[in-house]
Chains A and B, each alone.
Chain A
Amino acid sequence: MKVKPTEDEDGAVELRTDGGTSDQMFEDADPTDVGPLTQAKEILYEGLVAPAKIAWSDWRTKTGIVILGTFVLIAVLVDLHQNGYTILNDFLGLVGSPWELTEPSSAFGCSNGECAQGYERDRKPFQNWETPLGTDPEGRDILAGVVWATPRMLRMVVAGGVFSIGMATIVGTVSGYKGGTTDQVLMTLTDIALSIPGLPLVIVLIAVINPSSPYIIGVVIVINVWAGLARTIQSQVLSLREQSYVEASRTMGIRTPKIIQKDILPNLMPYIMVNFVYSARRVIYDSVGLYFLGFLEFETIANWGVMMNWAYANQGALTQSGPRYLIIVPMAPIVLLSFGLILLSQGTDRLFNPRVRTRHEGDTVEEEEEEDQVQPAMV
């Protein structure tokens, strides 16, 4: 912020107590008008451009962003395809790719009066570029299946991630900042949620409510994952609220929600980001696992786990002589997606570290500090 000189009304050169003149002192400090446009630009720079630059300067986040970006791109294209906009196939046709996306359906049977044009069965991967990842014993294109399940998976991930960090941030900041009875009650609840192992609870809940919407499945899977982050945030807030600048805001009579929003939350961003990634990973692991063993019901290829389930339960892929590629191929995107997330989270520490930011902007801060560990232990 620029400081506006107060004594420039008549423009006279006044002698100041420190011996200087106001003109000399504030020569380069003309009052700048911060219009809405400038403000928007600043917010854009602070919030997006600068973090993006830092993220891009680190190979881990860079690779992570590329991997996740690819998944998002595929998901968007496939989702458009599922809704009738065949941009992906138009593009593939232009490039002359032998493969194009069709709904993966079995070679047997007809649905809606249209009989599926199945591929040759049991085609191994990388042999025929019409189906690059091969086909399963029912003639489904495996690559199409993998791609087809992507949008739904990302929906689950987003729903689960947003729910878990939202819940954790609310519980953590409120209990940490309010303290007293609120704190004790909320933290007891958090501890209970924390000590219940997630998966059995999720399975039982799914048996009761039998969800099919990806959003609900995502939320159910992280039903107690928020607790770990809530604990971290609570302890962080406990120390933050004693900081002098927070105390200053309090003394100035700024209302609690505003203090939490302006003074507390920005400090918690690294924890929140990292935990978003970990919740997302949890959603991927658990949803695929639940589909894999058939705890979640399905009718079509709704998830990579469904393909693993077919390979495991119907084709005996886990027997000595079973068709192994059927179960290995759908595992690849799971590992890749979570690898992207892990890479991103490993670099996130730097993203929110003000010292790294300063260094990036050109100021020389020589001190090479060890990055704060904001990783949750293990989820």
Chain B
Amino acid sequence: MNWYVKRTGQALITLWAVVTLAFFLTRQMPGSAMERYVDRAQQNLGPNADPAQIRRAVADQMMFHPDDSFWEAYSTYMESLLTGNLGYSIEAGDNLNTVMADAIPWTLFVMALATFGLFGISLALGAIMAYKEGSLFDLSNTLVGMFTTSIPYYVAGVLLIIYVGFGDGFVTQHFPTRDRLPHTASPGFNLDFVIAAFSHATLPALSFILTAYGLLALSMRGNSIQVLGEDYVRVAQLRGLPERRIALRYVGRNAVLPLYTSLLLSIGFMMGASVILEQIFNYRGVGFWMWRAIDVMDVTLMMAVFLMITISVVLATFFADLTYGFLDPRIKTGDEGEAY
């Protein structure tokens, strides 16, 4: 079977599984959380309202009515999600489509910044360490990398807030510790806005980068050393190819390939971790809403956050996976294995 078809099928199955899981979990939520929505609908429509009308209002907000039978509820839930409706949240006081549409780009922005920073730094550092294997540079960076890896990202976040964000040094004063934009900023593609957005996202992104680069750089170092010992690299050197070409096309490319899985995993990890980090930085992305939702047990909000994060991760890894073919043409042969 074609690899692309297979991969697309897998992504679809995953999406279905995730949504079904969300549905099961919603049904399992404590009843009190559901009753709030029923009570609220009753209040809104007044005491004399038609029960059917209340029922419809509740079903509209929660995407199914708690009293529905399993299959009935499941089909309304699925139908609602497929038509792009995430329900209504009392806590957010708004339609969840609006809330999530406002929040998602910011979370993705921080994640993209962190991913690019992380991979840029670790790949370069790992490659340099491999070329200077055994030197003081290599050893000290190995040690520092191992230590920073043992720091949880939120601990790094806390430390960054305390020592960088609250600092008033020449550089440190430019990194705010809260919010995603200053209150005065007006959205639009002007320079002030872009600078403000980047400076607010720097510390959250740095929390990821500083705590994750170590392990990745060490893997890159290991891979590069292994590739450097391969025969084809020696052949390339004997052929008199320029060093630069060998470093990039022969060593770099083959050393990076195994790290592709790390890229996919780190996307999921960072999106998931936004639940904690965005709370610490008061950064109003998707994860930020999770804390509010859990605090008051707002079921629809909780599930919307869960679905949004999970679906973005599934889609992001899917597209990242599709580009893998450009890096490694062998993947296209799919199940047939390597052709000799």
Contacts and interface: CB of A to CB of B under 8 A. Distances in A.
Interface in B33-64: none
A95 interface: no
Contacts of A370: 222, 225-226, 229
Given A293-B276, A377-B261, A377-B262, A197 B268 contact: yes
Interface in B158-216: 158-159, 161-162, 166, 177, 212, 215-216
Grouping DSSP codes into helix (H, G, I), strand (E, B) and loop, the A interface class, with mixed when no group exceeds half, is helix
A375 interface: yes
Categorize the interface residue count of chain A: 35 or more
B302 A378 contact: no
A373 B152 contact: no
B300 interface: no
B132 to A, nearest CB: 16
Interface string A192-212: 100111111101110110000
Given A324-B162, A378-B216, A204 B14 contact: no
A289 B146 CA distance: 21
Contacts of A228: 265
B280 A205 contact: no
Nearest to B277: A289
A341 interface: yes
A335 interface: yes
Given A281-B150, A342-B149, 13 more contacts: A198-B272, A199-B272, A199-B275, A200-B272, A200-B305, A203-B290, A207-B302, A293-B279, A318-B158, A338-B150, A338-B152, A375-B218, A378-B269
Interface of B: 10, 13-14, 17-18, 21, 25, 28-30, 146-147, 149-155, 158-159, 161-162, 166, 177, 212, 215-216, 218-219, 222-223, 225-226, 229, 258-259, 261-262, 265-266, 268-269, 271-273, 275-276, 279-280, 287, 290-291, 294-295, 297, 302-303, 305-306, 309-310, 313-314, 317
Interface string A274-306: 000000010011001100111100000000000
B87 to A, nearest CB: 15
Nearest to B293: A207
Contacts of A207: 29, 294, 297, 302
Contacts, number: 147
Interface string A321-339: 0001001100100111011
11 contacts: A191-B14, A196-B18, A196-B21, A197-B309, A200-B275, A203-B275, A205-B25, A335-B150, A373-B222, A375-B219, A377-B216
A294 B290 CA distance: 12
Contact of A192 (B13, B29, B146, B306): B13
Contacts of A198: 268-269, 272
A195 B317 contact: yes
Of B147, B150, B314, the most chain A CB neighbours within 10 A belong to B150
A339 B158 contact: no
A346 interface: yes
A338 B147 CA distance: 9
A204 B146 contact: no
